[in-house]
Amino acid sequence: MTAASSRCARFAFVLGCLGLSGIALAQAPGAAPSLSADDLARAQNPVWMRGAGLDRVDGELWAAGPGYKAHFRSGSVEITPPLGQDAPRSLPLVFALESIDLGATRVLTASGAVEPVQDGQSARYVHGGGIVERYDARVDGLEQSFVLDERPQGAGDLVVRGRASTELVPEAKGAGLFFRAAGLDGDRGLEYGGVTGIDANGRRMPGSVTWLGDAIELRLPAAFVATAAFPLTIDPVIGGTFSVANQFNTFFADPDVAFHLATPTYLVTFERVWSATDFDVYAQRVSVEGNLVGAQILLETSIFNLALNPTVAICSPSGSFLVAWQQSSNVNGPFDLVAKSVSASTGLQSLPVTLNTVAAGSTIDPDAGGSAVGAAASVFVFWTQLGANPGIHYARVDVPASGAPSLNGKYQLSADPNDSKPTVSKYRLNAHLVAWQRFYSTPAPGDHDLFHAVVGT
């Protein structure tokens, strides 16, 4: 079994507890901690189900919520549903606005060169003539809307048409469409909800959504458009559907958490699994009361990468977290070690930095330790190295208040190829304690022993 497949096989339903606050600070010795009603509600409503985000990731605009991720390109948007670990690869739907007509009158012929613009948790394509195509990152789905500021010339049904391409199989569902992932059990795919027209006075009118073979058509009836007050909004919601009996395909895993005392804020990191070849790394800031702070932070989002085993540590002097993970474009590796910094106060992320690459091997099982109070502005990251120079390695990484982290030395802690899975103390004053396991094959069937070392600053 490969390192990736072994890692992929280990899931736990632990994210449901991430909303819990520090509740056992004043308990009597031996007393069980009590849970408030808010704590219990958060435990039943996991952090990933309550979060959505839209941000620039390595220079490109992305959004993600529980049932979708979206990549906003020049003139088009690529929307990917979660299909589960047993789906061979991700299957996105690409939508590009083509035209808007009012009856027989052409209102807009879209240009493919329109660039997306970020507006908070929204992405906008400004098409001219007072027409804006907008996407809002919401927890319940990606809200797509088309806003016409002024009444156009012409009369009849208002028709928005967009070119669409996907390997998902389209079918009618209620007032909208469902794009199904063929060959997978259950209902897995992308739901394109029914369309609603909303005028400036709040009047609402349902419309129709039609699949045309290579396009999606949204239509509002002429009678409503003729009496509508402008601006007029056409407003479907898009989101993923994942309903299967085998919950092994759940698609969140490997949480880690660190705390910044001065803010005070936690940062929770976790994997998001979209398919067998598409694993992302996200993060969420959480208050000491257990409430989400800001939008979900999208750290690695490509549909072509596996980003695994995220680890996070705080660098208190700079007020930034370091998040590191192993990453490869191939399910069998080799894996590199990649890192970004995240501001504790704003949630802003840096560009990525590759901390370690092995020419004939992999960097796996990273774990990071930081500094809780005044110390050098650096974090230590430990990992298992396979192939060349096997064993336990570590790096000292400088984490600035803004900008990308930088490597400040790499070292080898052990040279035994049977050593693996280092774990390091989260915080330090003058040193970190790191522990790891060593496998002995004899006597059969073999066993592991535990080793440790103190690594100074």
Q: What is the pLDDT of residues 196-214, one digit of tens each?
A: 999 999 999 999 999 999 9
**Type of residue numbered 133:** E
Please report the pLDDT score of residue 48 as a whole number. Answer: 54
Question: What is the average per-residue pLDDT within 420-442?
Answer: 91
Q: Which of the two residues, 248 and 451, has the higher pLDDT score?
A: 451
User: And the tokens for 294?
Assistant: 């800001």
Q: What is the pLDDT of residues 375-417, one digit of tens each?
A: 568 999 999 999 999 999 999 999 999 999 999 999 999 999 9
What pTM was computed for the model? 0.85
Q: Are 286 and 18 in contact (CB under 8 A)?
A: yes
Q: Which of the two residues, 426 and 293, has the higher pLDDT score?
A: 293
Please report the pLDDT score of residue 430 as a whole number. Answer: 73
Q: What is the DSSP string of 283-336?
A: EEEEETTS-EEEEEEEEE--TT-EEEEEEEEEETTTTEEEEEEEEESSTT---E
> Domain boundaries in the chain?
3-45+251-426, 62-243
Nearest to 64 by CA among 124, 117, 139: 139
Question: What is the average per-residue pLDDT within 297-319?
Answer: 96
Please report the pLDDT score of residue 429 as a whole number. Answer: 74
pLDDT of 5 over the 70 cut: no
Please report the pLDDT score of residue 45 as a whole number. Answer: 58
Please report the pLDDT score of residue 41 as a whole number. Answer: 55
| pLDDT band at residue 34 under the 50/70/90 scheme | low
